[in-house]
Amino acid sequence: MSKALIIDDEQQMRRLLRMVLESRGYEVCEAADGQLGLQEAAFQRPDVVLLDLGLPGLGGIDVLKRLREWTDVPVLILSVRDQETVKVEALELGADDYVTKPFGTAELLARLDVIQRRRFTRQSPEIIAGALKLDLLHHEATLADEPVKLTPTEFALLKVLAEHAGRIVTQNQILKQVWAGQSSDPSEGLRVHINHLRKKLGESGPRIVNEPGIGYRLEA
């Protein structure tokens, strides 16, 4: 059975979520603010976190940032409409999905299923984009079943691109996810690593195209 952690300041919302989740078989724990949320996350080791963005004090974004410093636990964002900017920021920081309040329980459960399954498939882990296959467990990449030798940074970079294959990945997104929590300024080096990746992927493989001023896109 999966364990879910709810971080939300409204008691009513917590009770509603608890009911929905428990009816689905989740084990549920709660936290009423960001500080407590982080403690519970560390102590309870939940399988999924439901995080409200409108927290008082330590905000939802900060909680997410701190969470991501030490865990990849799937995070589902709860937000109200017209928080577009914050939602973008949360997703860039590695949140897995979001639902907008008020939400239907069916939608909530569906999205939980998806991010749970994604995490589950990460235990027999591969990302596939066309002829490219990334084995996340062994940190190995193959292109048309031919092994490709990648450095750790290159692998992380290609992983971010492959996860969103076919779509633009913002430079911000890349920097936040590949160089998460590091002090150096990698904005210069990104170009170099992209260059290396393109060479290793060769002519026949997937192309990494640049969207000037925005980011990169991997197309199979």
Per CB under 8 A, residues contacting a second copy are 1-2, 25, 47, 84-85, 87-88, 91-92, 96-99, 111, 114-115, 117-127, 136-140, 151-152, 155, 164, 167-170, 173, 211-215
Give the pair of three-digit tokens for residue 181. Answer: 């929590």
Question: Cβ closer to DNA: 10 or 219?
Answer: 219
Question: How far apart are CB 193 and a second copy at their closest, in Å?
Answer: 14
User: φ, ψ for residue 24 (rounded to 5)?
Assistant: -90, 0
Is the separation of the CB atoms in 87 and 122 below 8 Å?
Answer: no
Distance of CA 24 to the CA centre of its chain: 23
Between 52 and 154, name the residue whose CB sits nearer to DNA.
154
Which of a second copy, DNA, none sits in contact with 182, Cβ below 5 to 8 A by type? DNA
Query: Three-class SS of residue 23?
Result: helix
Q: Which is nearer to DNA, 74 or 215 (CB)?
A: 215
CB of 35 or CB of 101, closer to a second copy: 101
Cα–Cα distances (Å) from 29 to 18, 82, 115, 169, 199, in that order, read: 8, 28, 19, 34, 48
